[in-house]
Amino acid sequence: MLPPRNPDETIKARGADTRPDGRFERYQRIRESDGWDMAEENHLLKTEVVTERPRSIITRNNSPDIGFDRSINPYRGCEHGCIYCYARPSHSYLGLSPGLDFETKITAKPDAARLLEREIGRPSYKVAPIALGTNTDPYQPVEAKLAIMPGILRVLRDWNHPATLVTRGRTVLRDLDLWAELAAKDQAAIGISVTTLDAGLARALEPRAPAPQTRLQMIGALAKAGVPVRVMVAPVIPVLTEPEIEGILTAAREAGASTASMIPLRLPHEVAPLFRDWLERHRPGMAKHVMNRVQAMRGGRDNDPRFGHRFRGAGVEAQLALQRFRLARKRLGYREGSPPLDCSRFGPPPRSGDQLSLF
């Protein structure tokens, strides 16, 4: 059971409604009145951003489910506030709540570009595409002010280092020229997440993310600039967004997307109770139906973390959704996969005073 909302806070455009403790906390904090409370005016809950100075910026993984082995996340936490976000549990490692803290207490890494150049410049470094935005969105609202991504992209461009991106943030268009430069050398591909075409549902599920129509416009602008775009029909939420699989694929294809992928809803760790609470607040009449269908794809549980299952689901429900997706993808003329990015040009940029090659 989740703790009650703080009555002293006014919450606007947030996915979560409260602050459940993270799974690593030894003690649970419960708000209780002792009769000595002073009457105070409610204050609007605002986003707080702090900076982090890490020693490295590239994160490695060896997951058999993921098609990349390294990634960069310029931020911890995400102001988009998507209630279903699988990254929410990562805030527990910081001693913060995966609920409201995840979307209001953001950590930024302003030294990301400098750290990246240092790491890829090591003699031992072996090039492979770097995935950006794998945990939280690098183009979330605060990026418009902090502008960490342009520095990262300039390093990647100068070193001819390939990269992929997953985002739903419109600020990606600010960096369109940089992405186009990488794409012209077959060194970039971008995935745009489109969960639903229903603007009202999107506003409730993803309160501070761009509207669906804006995301389709982003796909169009990126494709026009020559950047390969993948539409990510993710997450597919039974009952709520599952009926839109074909509609999303059609709209994204018309906008310019060339490839597509689909992932059913995942509810790891603290995300499950947060999502259940969201259902009771926003879709109470459908809550039981939604969760029954989720569990039908997850072996009777809210979540199935096993490799080979977590991104696909299991059972008849998952297979039917995947079959619909594949048939629509084929009918609409999507490519089944993206061409590999070019790693052959990787190398340090020329410096002033360098000796020129004879050939």
Closest CA relative to residue 257, chosen from 291, 289, 215? 215
Rg of the chain on CA atoms, in Å:
21
For 244-253, write each residue's pLDDT tens digit: 999 999 999 9
**How confident is the model over 26-50, as pLDDT tens digits?**
766 666 665 555 545 678 999 999 9
Supply the mean pLDDT for the chain.
Answer: 93
Q: Which of 197, 193, 202, 255 is nearest to 224 (CA)?
A: 255
What pLDDT is attached to residue 66? 86
Residue 108 structure tokens:
């930024």
What's the pTM?
A: 0.93
Degrees, nearest 5: CA angle 345-155-140: 125
DSSP 46: -
What average pLDDT does the segment 68-82 reach?
97
pLDDT at 197 over 70: yes
Separation of alpha carbons 92 and 74, rounded Å: 18
Higher model confidence: residue 176 or residue 25?
Answer: 176
- Give the tens place of pLDDT for each residue, 278-323: 999 999 999 999 999 999 999 999 999 988 888 889 999 999 999 9
Hey, what are 248's tokens?
A: 């999303």
Residue 190 to residues 37, 118, 157, 166, 218, Cα–Cα distance (Å):
51, 25, 15, 6, 11
Q: Work out the burial of residue 38: count CB atoms within 10 Å of its CB; fewer than 13 is exposed, 13-18 middle, 19 or more buried.
A: exposed
Chain-centroid distance of CA 215 in Å reads 14
* Domains located in the chain, CATH noted: 51-331 (3.80.30.30)
What pLDDT is attached to residue 67? 86
How is residue 351 annotated by DSSP?
-
Instruction: Please tell me the predicted confidence (pLDDT) of residue 8.
Output: 84
Q: Which of 192, 186, 135, 193 is nearest to 163 (CA)?
A: 186
Q: What's the confidence (pLDDT) of residue 212? A: 98
- Beta-bridge partners for 107: 50, 76
Q: What angle do CA 123, 187, 109 make, to 5 degrees?
A: 65
Q: Is the pLDDT of residue 354 over 70?
A: no
pLDDT score, position 25: 81
For residue 177, the model assigns a pLDDT of 98
Amino acid at 265: L
Handedness of CA 124, 128, 131, 135 (dihedral sign): negative
Indicate if the pLDDT at residue 326 is higher than 60.
yes
- Identify whether the C-beta of residue 247 lies closer than 8 Å to the C-beta of residue 233: no
DSSP H or E segment with residue 105: strand 105-108
Chain-centre distance for alpha carbon 114? 23
- Does residue 196 have a pLDDT over 80? yes
Q: State pLDDT tens for residues 127-170.
A: 999 999 999 999 999 999 999 999 999 999 999 999 999 999 99
Cβ partners under 8 Å of residue 21, min gap 6: 3, 27, 28, 29, 97
Q: In this prediction, what percent of the chain has a pLDDT beyond 90?
A: 82
DSSP string over 51-72: E---S--PEE---TT-S-SEEE
Q: How far apart are CA 205 and CA 311, in angstroms?
A: 20
Residues 257, 260: Cα–Cα separation, whole Å: 7
